[in-house]
């Protein structure tokens, strides 16, 4: 299924061939360069989804800022959520280089017509979730974004390089929260294990459907936007994470997991894709809450944005009158 927004007119075959040759040579595409309309639209779709994910992703963790259990944890959680806001802002600005307006993208998110990462539709019900999200969700994002840092579109690739540095910091911070909890009191250890149990499978789903079921993958890889498949990235993440869980004495909730000596991969059980599609389509535990929170912030802020615009307009008027 191809979203209507991505359908585009046929391109001049000569220009398209030149463009694809540039991609094949590993050249970077910049905003002023010619690009096929579908390339532009795929990028807008991907980058805006990414920006929306950063912004919606502030909510599940923001939920624990007022309950962080020490002043140091409170500060680092605030700083993390603030970083995610910065990522959102930075990627929205990158998307604007493709000729769209940030404001319109935000309206699509609020209208429920734009997607964001489904992982943020799960609830954060314990402090350990601040650890699991940093460790697993930021960890999975790093695997994905390290690949995107080599994307053919310059502004996106550069945004990813910068953002990845901060995501690495978030991952370390999350892992450290999990380490402390797992080695703490029996209740704290149970809290950490319960959190891993809840976040493990949704984290694997973050890489998206199997390659065979991923509608946009073919074109995205041909144009050098995605250089690795969903399944490859997922496997890389699992291989990394198994050892980390073991190091902090937590058990990955997959009894069928086996190490394959020949491939050196940790093979995992089948993912419940029905669950994945249910959450994508809007019936996750928090889809409604997340959008409602974004809409409320937007609506409550309307008078503030209007005031700022009105004040700026008056300033311009008075400067012009003085000139």
| Contact flag: residue 73 with other proteins (CB under 8 A) | yes
Non-local CB neighbours of 92 within 8 Å, separated by 6+ positions: 48, 51, 102, 105, 106
Examine residue 62 and tell whether it contacts other proteins (CB under 8 A): yes
58 sits near other proteins (criterion: CB under 8 A): yes
Shortest distance (Å) from residue 239 CB to other proteins: 30
Indicate which single residue of 2, 24, 69, 161 sits in contact with other proteins (rule: CB under 8 A). 69
Report if residue 190 touches other proteins, rule: CB under 8 A.
no
307 binds, among other proteins, Fe ion, none (CB under 5 to 8 A by kind): other proteins
Nearer to other proteins, 29 or 192 (CB): 192
The span from the CA of 26 to the CA of 100, in Å, is: 26
Contact between 123 and other proteins by CB under 8 A: the answer reads no
Q: Nearer to Fe ion by C-beta: 84 or 129?
A: 84
Segment near other proteins (CB under 8 A); pick from 162-170, 192-200, 215-223, 296-304: 296-304
HSE value, Cβ hemisphere, 13 Å, CA-based, for 161: 7
Of 171, 106, 119, nearest to 280 (Cα)?
A: 119
Stretch binding other proteins (CB under 8 A), from 54-62, 135-143, 208-216, 280-288: 54-62
Helix axes 186-205, 139-148, angle to 10 degrees: 30
Tell me if 292 contacts other proteins by CB under 8 A: no
Question: Are the beta carbons of 119 and 144 closer than 8 angstroms?
Answer: no
Per-residue CA distances from 289 to 56, 60, 95 (Å)? 11, 10, 26
d(Cα 100, Cα 70) in Å, to the nearest integer? 42
The angle at the Cα of 175, spanning 169 to 178, to the nearest 5 degrees, equals: 145
Taking CB within 5 to 8 Å according to partner kind, which of Fe ion, other proteins, none is near residue 187? Answer: other proteins
Considering the rule CB under 8 A, would residue 85 count as an interface residue with other proteins? yes
Q: How many helices (H) and strands (E) does the chain have?
A: 14, 2
**Interface with other proteins by CB under 8 A: which residues?**
55, 58-59, 62, 65-67, 69-75, 78-79, 81-82, 85-86, 88-89, 92, 127, 180-181, 184-185, 187-188, 293, 296-297, 300-311, 314
């Amino acid at each position: 299924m191809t979203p209507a927004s991505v359908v585009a007119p046929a391109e001049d075959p000569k220009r398209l061939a030149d463009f694809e040759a540039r991609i094949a040579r590993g050249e970077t595409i910049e905003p002023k360069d010619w690009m096929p309309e579908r390339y532009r639209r795929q990028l807008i779709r991907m980058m805006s989804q990414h920006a929306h994910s950063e912004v919606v992703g502030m909510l599940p963790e923001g939920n624990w800022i007022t309950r962080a259990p020490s002043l140091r944890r409170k500060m680092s959680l605030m700083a993390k959520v603030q970083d995610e806001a910065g990522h959102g802002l930075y990627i929205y600005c990158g998307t604007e280089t493709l000729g769209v307006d940030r404001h319109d993208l935000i309206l699509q998110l609020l209208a429920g017509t734009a997607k964001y990462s489904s992982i943020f539709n799960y609830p954060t019900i314990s402090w350990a979730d601040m650890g699991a999200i940093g460790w697993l969700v930021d960890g999975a994002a790093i695997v994905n974004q390290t690949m995107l840092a080599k994307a053919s579109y310059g502004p996106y690739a550069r945004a990813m390089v910068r953002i990845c540095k901060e995501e690495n910091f978030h991952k370390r911070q999350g892992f450290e929260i999990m380490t402390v909890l797992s080695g703490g009191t029996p209740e704290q250890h149970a809290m950490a294990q319960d959190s891993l149990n809840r976040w493990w499978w949704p984290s694997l789903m973050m890489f998206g459907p199997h390659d065979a079921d991923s509608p946009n993958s073919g074109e995205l890889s041909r144009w050098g936007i995605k250089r690795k498949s969903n399944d490859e990235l997922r496997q890389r993440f699992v291989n990394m994470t198994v050892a980390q869980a073991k190091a902090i004495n937590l058990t990955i909730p997959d009894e069928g997991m086996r190490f394959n000596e020949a491939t050196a991969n940790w093979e995992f059980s089948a993912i419940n894709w029905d669950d994945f599609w249910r959450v994508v389509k809007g019936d996750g535990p928090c889809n409604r809450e997340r959008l409602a929170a974004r809409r409320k912030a937007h609506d409550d802020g309307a008078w503030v944005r209007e005031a700022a615009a009105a004040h700026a307009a008056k300033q311009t008027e008075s400067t012009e009158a003085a000139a």
